[in-house]
Structure 1
């Protein structure tokens, strides 16, 4: 018998001063049986850092990710079905990134874990030509701390200011400072 996903509910309050975005979101996350708390919380963080201020060009949604190799962890589609954002957490290979960059206006990767520098060294040259690719690294210690905030029912406050991110649940807080590995060279 196949294991089922575990459902997590999150109430998040976002105060992103870098984007002048202040919003509350009620989210339901399905945690795949093979997914860790760390990865799930990275998906939640990726949502908070990419959610648009309005849904004029479509809403940012959690996609099948682990369950479907043709989908990212999050995506935003406009009303015509065209992909606006393709967002993945982890360390995808260069072929997957090239395919995503051909399909979406903007592709963002949120890499985490201690093996990120080795992964990036292996693919940096292969993806440098992808002009709509943005790659961020969250330090391994910070992503592990973020996992400690995971709970079936979460109320989180996420604050972003000058590239610094704070995620808190009222009792504990995690400070993150992601490092940009690659910025997009053009906007479509």
Structure 2
């Protein structure tokens, strides 16, 4: 018997200053796979907010390892955004770039150290087309702090300014940088 995923209800007031996005009531549900950590759930939520656009949707997650965690399709069904989080494989990211030529391929890592390790792996594997993907890492301390919020209903305010995230959750304020890199 397989265990069912746990649903988390997020209500986020999102402000992405550089992209002129102001969503005072962004509501969505995230299914947490039984083997998934809360830290990875938060990483998916942060990626969703960082790259938010209409029609952006959560993928099948851990159940389908070759599928993106988030994707966006236009009205014709063409993939316009393809997003992976966590420990990405450079060869698979290069394949995503190749298979989705009209899509913006992005990866959000759980720490700047993991981002640097990915870049090293990509160079060693000669996965040079990874350079077409947008690569970023969230501050590990911010992610660790947010993963402590494990309630089934989570309400927060998230503001992204430049490469910095400001979060207010349960009356507490946190912030951390977003580190970007390219091959």
- Equivalent in the alignment of 2:12: 12
Q: Aligned in 2, Cα 1:79/1:149: closer, same or farther, shift over 3 Å?
A: same
- Equivalent in the alignment of 1:186: none
Say if 1:61 and 1:74, in contact at 8 Å, map to a contact too.
Answer: yes
Which of 77, 80, 98 matches 1:81?
A: 77
> Per-residue CA shift, 1:101-157, capped at 9, x if unaligned?
123311110011485133332224634433530111223222211212332101110
Please identify which structure carries the higher helix content.
Answer: 2
Residue 43 (1) aligns with residue 28 (2):
no
> Per-residue CA shift, 1:48-94, capped at 9, x if unaligned?
11112xx4xxx000000211123110000111211100111112112
Which of 98, 104, 107 matches 2:105?
A: 107
After TM superposition, the structure 1 = structure 2 runs for residues 158-169 of structure 1, keeping only pairs within 5 Å, are 158-169=158-169
Q: Determine the C-alpha separation between the residues in 2 that align with 1:182 and 1:35.
A: 28
Say if 1:42 and 1:143, in contact at 8 Å, map to a contact too.
Answer: yes
Shift of 1:164: 1.2
Say if 2:90 and 2:121, in contact at 8 Å, map to a contact too.
Answer: no
**Cα RMSD (Å):** 1.8
After TM superposition, the structure 1 = structure 2 runs for residues 107-146 of structure 1, keeping only pairs within 5 Å, are 107-113=105-111, 116=114, 117-124=116-123, 126-146=126-146
> Per-residue CA shift, 1:15-50, capped at 9, x if unaligned?
111111001211111000111111000100101111
Where structure 2 has 5 or more consecutive residues not aligned to the other structure, the ranges are none
- Equivalent in the alignment of 1:92: 88
Q: 3-state SS of the aligned residue for 1:91?
A: coil
Question: TM-score scaled to structure 2, two decimals?
Answer: 0.89
Where structure 1 has 5 or more consecutive residues not aligned to the other structure, the ranges are 184-188
- Equivalent in the alignment of 2:62: 66
Q: 3-state SS of the aligned residue for 1:151?
A: coil
Aligned residues: 178
Q: 3-state SS of the aligned residue for 2:19?
A: coil
